[in-house]
Amino acid sequence: MYNINKDLANIFYKMAAIYEFLDDNFRARAYQRAAHVIEDLPDDIRNYIQGGKIQRFRGIGESIYAKIKEYIETGKISKYEELKKKVPEDFIELIDLPGIGPKSLKKIYEELGIKTKEELIKALEDGRVEKLEGFGPKKVQNMLKALKMYEISKRRMLLWHALELSDYLVSQLKKLKEVKKVEVAGSIRRRKITIGDIDILVVAEDKDRKKIMDYFVKLPEVKEVLGKGLKKTSVIIKTSNGRERQVDLRIFKNEEWGAALQYFTGSKQHNVHLREIAKEKGLKINEYGVFKVDTGEKIAGETEEGVYKSVGMDFIPPELREDRGEIEAALEHRLPKLVELKDIKGDMHIHSTWSDGFNSIEDIAKFVKEHYKYEYIVITDHSKSQRVAHGLDEKRILEEIEEIKKLNQLLGFDFIKIGSEVDILLDGSLDFPDEILAKLDWVVASIHSHFNRDNTDRILKAMENPYVNVIGHPTGRLIGVREGYPVDLEAVIKKAKETGTALEINSQPLRMDIDDIWVKKAVEEGVKLVISTDSHNLGSFEYMKAGVAIARRGWATKKDILNTRSWKEVQKFINEKRKRMGGILIGA
């Protein structure tokens, strides 16, 4: 079933923009919040509204529920159709554009009758806008710049690339002895899958502020300085691959550090919710600390833990701060203990030169043993249908098994496990017969063809096979390149639970598949997950960090992640499925 959540959320975001334009800010906020809630639902919204029975969500009340129902039944929302007539079509998009606000747009629309983006640019350039009351040359310049930057900023950066860039900037700032503390905040710290701007926070003495800001704007990668002060400086950085990113640097006092970090890590929804609760308790939270409203006394701010504690909450890990229930859980002291990078005991999806990897199995094993504290790795080269990836046929995978046996003898123990990333064929059967699969330590089954059809049936059938242990990159999406193939992940999760099959969190920067929303759903359903790098070269083993981050964003604990287990424990998982689905047990 095609998931309508995204379409519905988009409509509500647009309605919010229109209400902003109409100066009805509270309504706008209500629609924004509803859109956010719907976007975060793993299941199709129709599943929550069955037979007139409505599941309650915070932020969706009677009126918005009625509109959701109307959309489900008719494919339209009449209120939206009505609202659209009040705003020029181009403007709905422009209202969300950073640098131009709804008030300015409204004035330009009302006084000059401007209705399209092209007309707006023309009126800005020929001086008509400048003559309006409240406008001036600077404002006009900034609006033009905002329009120009729009196309650039619209493309968000992949988490991995943002991490590389922000790590570099942090390392440069650490070179100054005046920088006492430095941390990346914002969506990078929350490990969102894609990143807009980069926020960096620093602790320093007041007298050193100028020196730090001067140093920052002189970094060779800085292409343009958007604003420079002693508290905040904004620049445009040009990355090595030619992309442009806005980076904000802010300096705080040590006693403000926790409050600043909390505030600038966001998310916005999380912060708003947190402050509402603080307010109920007679407290005020800003980026400098937590204060009692009546006396103005500061009661927290030096550490993030202190900020949360002051309102009666446990510390909330940054990856959870999306207002998806973490605030309630923190108040009730029932936040999960999230999985950590150090819990990972092995990588279970790796390609070698036997198929399309760049390194020999021997080089991979030596490299991983030297750089990671893993207990095992699983080599999972492609199967024969993947001709372009030099997939292995039956004869060659038997040879690969022998090769790995020899290498393990050299290493002195069974560090290398033999697996396969076996193709799921069009009819849901697998690219290897069961006799071969039964000889393998671990089987990843993936879809690499027919992306346009609904592939739920293929995946469900593959999971019925007793030797398939995990479904690789379950949606097949490439972020910003192609959408995933149509697949009913709800049914996949159900079948995974039923058959004892795991689902992969593929850590490749472009994949991040499955994502945090579905991880959370899988965790709730008790389905096990595997965090894998799908490495094709030695540098890719680092992607495990990103995979763990996605797992954490999905509320996963150590027990939800299979590759936090010893190999003996993994084998138990394998045998449980083989037993249940009628396969040959390990060692039998």
Partner DNA sequence: GCCGTTTTCGGCCCGACTGTTTTCAGTCG
What residues contact 298, with CB distance under 8 A and at least 6 apart?
289, 290, 291
Question: For residues 500 and 581, is the Cβ–Cβ distance under 8 A?
Answer: yes
CB of 142 to DNA, least distance (A): 6
Stretch that binds DNA, among 92-100, 362-370, 373-381, 573-581 (CB under 7 A): 92-100
Residue 244: beta bridge partners? Answer: 238
User: Within 13 Å, how many C-alpha atoms sit on residue 278's CB side?
Assistant: 21
Nearest CA-CA partner of 479 in 503, 505, 511: 511
How far is 501 from 479, CA to CA, in rounded Å? 25
Q: Does 9 bind DNA (CB under 7 A)?
A: no
Nearer to DNA, 212 or 489 (CB): 212
CB of 359 to DNA, least distance (A): 41
Number of residues that bind DNA (CB under 7 A): 58
CB of 246 to DNA, least distance (A): 7
CB of 182 to DNA, least distance (A): 17
Q: Are strands 232-238 and 376-382 parallel, antiparallel or unpaired?
A: unpaired
3-state SS of 421-480 is EEEECCCCCECCCHHHHCCCCEEEEECCCCCCCCCHHHHHHHHHCCCCCEECCCCCCECC
Per-residue contact string for residues 161-200; x = within reach of DNA by CB under 7 A? -------------------------x----------x-x-
Q: Reply yes or no: is the peptide bond before residue 514 cis, omega within 30 of 0.
A: yes
- The two structure tokens encoding residue 479: 């972020």
Per-residue contact string for residues 31-50; x = within reach of DNA by CB under 7 A? x-xx----------------
Per-residue contact string for residues 203-232; x = within reach of DNA by CB under 7 A? ------------------------x-xxxx
H or E element, residue 110: helix 102-112
Among 43, 46, 48, 142, binds DNA (CB under 7 A): 142
Would you call 237 helix, strand, or coil by DSSP? strand
Question: For residues 249 and 291, is the Cβ–Cβ distance under 8 A?
Answer: no
Nearer to DNA, 29 or 559 (CB): 29
Nearer to DNA, 288 or 372 (CB): 288
Among 52, 137, 220, 242, binds DNA (CB under 7 A): 137
Binding residues for DNA restricted to 290-329, rule: CB under 7 A = none
Burial 503-532 (b: 16+ CB within 10 A, else e): bbbbbbbebbbbbbbbbbbbbeeebbbbbb
Per-residue contact string for residues 513-552; x = within reach of DNA by CB under 7 A? ----------------------------------------
CB of 550 to DNA, least distance (A): 23
Q: Does 79 bind DNA (CB under 7 A)?
A: yes
Stretch that binds DNA, among 44-52, 131-139, 208-216, 332-340 (CB under 7 A): 131-139
Residue 417: beta bridge partners? Answer: 378
CB of 30 to DNA, least distance (A): 3
Stretch that binds DNA, among 98-106, 311-319, 417-425, 554-562 (CB under 7 A): 98-106
Q: Does 63 bind DNA (CB under 7 A)?
A: yes
Q: Does 26 bind DNA (CB under 7 A)?
A: yes
Q: Does 251 bind DNA (CB under 7 A)?
A: no
Nearest CA-CA partner of 508 in 529, 485, 539: 539
CB of 554 to DNA, least distance (A): 24
Nearest CA-CA partner of 553 in 264, 194, 126, 211: 194
Among 60, 327, 339, 416, binds DNA (CB under 7 A): 60
Among 86, 103, 243, 453, binds DNA (CB under 7 A): 103
- The two structure tokens encoding residue 485: 């193939």
Q: Does 268 bind DNA (CB under 7 A)?
A: yes
Nearer to DNA, 70 or 356 (CB): 70
Q: Does 51 bind DNA (CB under 7 A)?
A: no
Nearer to DNA, 250 or 578 (CB): 250
Identify the residue whose tokens are 């620093």: 202
H or E element, residue 263: helix 257-265
Q: Which long-range contacts (CB under 8 A, 24 or more apart) does 102-105 make?
A: 102/17, 102/20, 102/21, 102/23, 103/23, 104/135, 104/139, 104/143, 105/21
Q: Which residues bind DNA (CB under 7 A)?
A: 26-27, 29-31, 33-34, 57-65, 79, 97-105, 133-140, 142, 146, 186, 197, 199, 227, 229-232, 246, 248, 264, 268, 271-272, 275-276, 279, 284-288
